A and B are shown apart, each in its own frame.
Chain A
Amino acid sequence: MDRALAWVLLLYPRRMRRRYGAEIAELTEDLIRLERRSPVRLLCSLAVHGIGCRLAWFARTRVATAIAVSTSVACVALVNMGAASAKQPASHQTRSQLHSTVENRCGQARPRVTNAQGGTARQHREERGGREPDC
């Protein structure tokens, strides 16, 4: 009986086993001896509860680790993004934006702005009889 109880107690997380293991064993023996409770039933109940405790502990530690890692990664990414944007001058434009601006100033081309119906803004104005403003 003692041996079976010791094996069943191994199912519990170490921390709980160390703190309450002796008390659980003693209480189980008391219930068998004084209350005539079924040893098999008690051992099965202890085993199920021990597995439940271990799974809960495992889930708690895995979730905590996942949260800590993802938060760290997010913080590092945010810090890197902040550092990168701080290095760029305020008037900085991407190559395509710069190209588009130069074309607009020279009257050679305008960026194609698509409206809700799928046509460009120029097509829409021409359909309404309007004309492009001079550059």
Chain B
Amino acid sequence: MQLPERSVLVLTSLAGGDKHGYALIKDVEAFSGVALSPGTLYGALARLEEDGFVQRLDVDDRRHPYRLTPAGRAALAERLAESARIASLGLRRIALAE
């Protein structure tokens, strides 16, 4: 299953621990420079929750934290390994061309 880029960002953030919406946006912005909008974030979370990749936890101070599930961890690992393979190949080709 091909994960969209924004879903990879959300899953990567959740791999570091449970977070609610605001903390997710701040973390994603810090490590990737991408400023997600609330609509984009909750669109991605809704899809990921539907696919069983994240779990919505009970309310904590009026906010719902989200947690990465084992299926989400496996999907993220697969996607990141694929990205790493492509990145490695691309860098090798660039080095050869120079």
Please give the residue numbers on chain A whose beta carbons come within 8 Å of chain B beta carbons, in ascending order: 16, 19-20, 23-24, 26-28, 30-31, 34, 42, 45-46, 48-50, 53
Known A-B contacts A20-B46, A23-B63, A26-B63; the reply to A45 vs B39 at CB < 8 A is: yes
**Highest count of chain A CB atoms <10 Å: which of B37, B40, B46:** B37
Q: How far is the CA of A31 from the CA of B21 in the complex (A)?
A: 10
Q: Give the Cβ gap from A19 to chain B, nearest Cβ, in Å.
A: 7
Q: How far is the CA of A30 from the CA of B21 in the complex (A)?
A: 10
Known A-B contacts A20-B45, A20-B46; the reply to A49 vs B39 at CB < 8 A is: yes
B38 in the interface (beta carbon within 8 A): yes
Known A-B contacts A16-B46, A20-B42; the reply to A49 vs B63 at CB < 8 A is: no
Q: How far is the CA of A34 from the CA of B21 in the complex (A)?
A: 14
Known: A19-B46, A49-B43, A53-B39. 4 other contacts (CB 8 A): A24-B39, A31-B25, A45-B37, A45-B39
Kindly supply a per-residue 1/0 record for chain B positions 15-38, scoring 1 wherever the CB is within 8 Å of any chain A CB and 0 otherwise. 000001110010000000000011
Q: Give the Cβ gap from A12 to chain B, nearest Cβ, in Å.
A: 8
Known A-B contacts A16-B46, A31-B22, A31-B25; the reply to A23 vs B39 at CB < 8 A is: no
Q: How far is the CA of A20 from the CA of B66 in the complex (A)?
A: 12
